Chain A
Amino acid sequence: MPGFRPAISFTLVYLALIVLIPLSAMLLKTFELSLDEYWAILTNPRVQASFRISFGAALIAAFVDGVFGFIIAWSLVRYTFPGKRLFDALIDLPFALPTAVAGIVLAAIYEPRGWIGKLVMDSLDVQIAYKPLGIVFALIFIGLPFVVRTIEPVLQEFDTAMEEAAASLGATRLQAFVKVILPNILPATITGVALAFARGVGEYGSVIFIAGNMPYISEIVPLLIITKLEQYDYAGATAIGLTMLILSFLLLLLINGLQWWVRRRSGQL
């Protein structure tokens, strides 16, 4: 193939400068610790709690995004309604908005005296902000466009004649949806959920304002890293960072595997 050498050289240099060198620097820094020290940091209850919160909240938020993102993408592709283009543009807002701004706005709205926060507090007696639930809400907000934007093109390309074929063969609307539409859209949905999840795990700006940042309760891993950095505990910070990297990598691998399995089962491989 023409252009192989320049293209592959560029790719390798770029990958090294932007991805590999910073990551290996992190790895090297972690090596300043002994294995025992590393283990001690990881088994610290506060660190473990923050891991549970970060990964748990990101996972829940990604799944919620998966469901609602699907419905929103469906509405945008299948129906025409006034203001559709504006609505469509709004979906990308979480991409564009500085995350800190989003965080402050979300905190203001969902706090116990905020517009929605007060409503929920009064009617359901549930507090959103300054609780793990607040973190989930912030991550749902941040992750939604990933899901919508990955499902949309696939749904657009979906051949509606398949639905008509299902109906002509006697399938109900529900059967057509479950047996024909869903399997075709599922791989894209999983991709979207994986992206939302990956973004959510590392999200900092929009979360810290609404989280309340109480150790053991609503403290996320990125915040813990910042705290360690502020205490000049660089090795400790990189140890947590590295662990997070490994966990994220494993989870993404798992999601990719799931996607491969779904595609294989549905003949798209």
Chain B
Amino acid sequence: MSISVNHISKHFGAFTALDNISLDIPEGELVALLGPSGCGKTTLLRIIAGLEQADQGDVFLKGDKVTDKPVKSRQIGFVFQHYALFRHMTVFDNVAFGLKVKPRRERLSNEVIAKKVHALLELVQLDWLHDRYPDQLSGGQRQRIALARALAVEPSVLLLDEPFGALDASVRKDLRQWLRNLHHDLNVTSIFVTHDQEEAMEVASQVVVLNHGRIEQQGAPGDIYDHPANAFVSRFIGQTNVFDLDEHDADWLQTAGLSTAQQKGKIAHVRPHDIVIEKSTAGTDTFVTLKDWQHLGSLIRIELVKSGANGQVASVYAEMPNDQFRRLQLNRGDKVELRIRHAHWFH
């Protein structure tokens, strides 16, 4: 295991940031720590880095116990949320910093350092900015310089705190792809923190979902999406319709295909793409009304309304490809039938 965290707990006053967390990350993975704000993901990252001390538990890097080691001797690369570039130094000096502060006997000659720094700047495709100052760079450029600076010391693990958090949507999209490719080339074990599930799913090879200081689920993005371990994960990752059988009209759902026979709980989570809609044939009272739809690129998101027997109204969201929707020739207010193909059941 490249990174191991054993029974880590951390409290800030009465607030429990991390509650007995254990986590193993194999060599070469690109892991996302995903969770809502305040779930403890950044605290966990900072504890792994040594920027924060855990109240209990141990951290192992490459099998070595580093719990009591200060951050400077942990051989980690850390990329800060707001980059924390040294604003009084040029881009070159920023990247060279980690090499220049080494003790004299370990320090490389200035020529070798310069060569290395330029190679790193070429890796992040910003060598042409080497004599600029951080204030003169765009957000995306700063992010890449911060990454080059962290990589300069050849860290055994790379830790990134909300690496795309402060960037524009379009820059973010490019950088995600770029980070993925870079990780593929360098193959250094990396952890990044994010609250954006889309980002986690797109970039990471492993996703760790955190909530209230606990790990809810760890796995490959596909596994987590297809087999959410609990209601929190199911709701947090991707879109989902929640049907509570205590509140909803069970008969209607049964007709739609939510079989109570196979149910393993009282609450059904249904992904929008697992709902098929057809034009209603007259004479049934199991229909729902089509309220509106939105274009999400290749998909159409359809908003349906079910009026219950006792006057309550439930919203249901379905998704289907554009052309399929067009073929149905539906209008606002039309009555349609639902068929639920698949559901996750939770208590």
A168 and B101 form a contact (CB under 8 A): no
At the interface, yes or no: B105 with Cβ under 8 Å from chain A? no
A266 surroundings in chain B (CB, below 8 A)? 87-89
Choose, from A9-17, A31-39, A157-165, the stretch at the interface: A157-165
At the interface, yes or no: A124 with Cβ under 8 Å from chain B? no
At the interface, yes or no: B134 with Cβ under 8 Å from chain A? yes
At the interface, yes or no: B202 with Cβ under 8 Å from chain A? no
Q: Whole-angstrom distance from the CB of B141 to the nearest CB of chain A?
A: 15
A169 surroundings in chain B (CB, below 8 A)? 72, 97-98, 101, 149-150, 152-153
A28 to B217 alpha-carbon distance, docked (Å) = 85
B49 surroundings in chain A (CB, below 8 A)? 168
Q: Whole-angstrom distance from the CB of A266 to the nearest CB of chain B?
A: 3
A194 to B98 alpha-carbon distance, docked (Å) = 34
Judged by DSSP, the binding face of A is helix
Q: Known: A167-B70, A170-B101, A171-B97. Is A267-B80 also a contact (CB below 8 A)? A: no
A166 to B85 alpha-carbon distance, docked (Å) = 9
1/0 per residue, CB under 8 A from A, across B33-60: the answer is 0000000000000000101000000000
Cross-interface CB contact of A164 among B84, B134, B135, B153, cutoff 8 Å? B84
A152 to B37 alpha-carbon distance, docked (Å) = 32
Cross-interface CB contact of A172 among B84, B85, B101, B133, cutoff 8 Å? B101
A171 and B72 form a contact (CB under 8 A): yes
B84 surroundings in chain A (CB, below 8 A)? 159, 161-162, 164-165
A218 to B146 alpha-carbon distance, docked (Å) = 56
A266 to B87 alpha-carbon distance, docked (Å) = 7
At the interface, yes or no: B71 with Cβ under 8 Å from chain A? yes
At the interface, yes or no: B2 with Cβ under 8 Å from chain A? no
Residues in B116-154 with C-beta less than 8 Å from chain A: 133-135, 149-150, 152-153
Q: Known: A168-B51, A170-B153. Is A162-B71 also a contact (CB below 8 A)? A: no
At the interface, yes or no: B291 with Cβ under 8 Å from chain A? no
A267 and B133 form a contact (CB under 8 A): yes
Residues in B86-114 with C-beta less than 8 Å from chain A: 86-90, 97-98, 101-102
A170 surroundings in chain B (CB, below 8 A)? 72-73, 98, 101-102, 153
A180 to B98 alpha-carbon distance, docked (Å) = 12
A180 to B86 alpha-carbon distance, docked (Å) = 7
Q: Whole-angstrom distance from the CB of B175 to the nearest CB of chain A?
A: 19
Q: Whole-angstrom distance from the CB of A186 to the nearest CB of chain B?
A: 9
B135 and A159 form a contact (CB under 8 A): no
Q: Known: A168-B72, A169-B97. Is A161-B86 also a contact (CB below 8 A)? A: no
A172 surroundings in chain B (CB, below 8 A)? 72, 101
15 residue pairs of the A-B complex, CB under 8 angstroms, read A162-B85, A165-B78, A167-B51, A167-B72, A168-B150, A169-B72, A169-B98, A169-B149, A169-B153, A171-B101, A172-B101, A179-B86, A179-B97, A180-B86, A267-B89
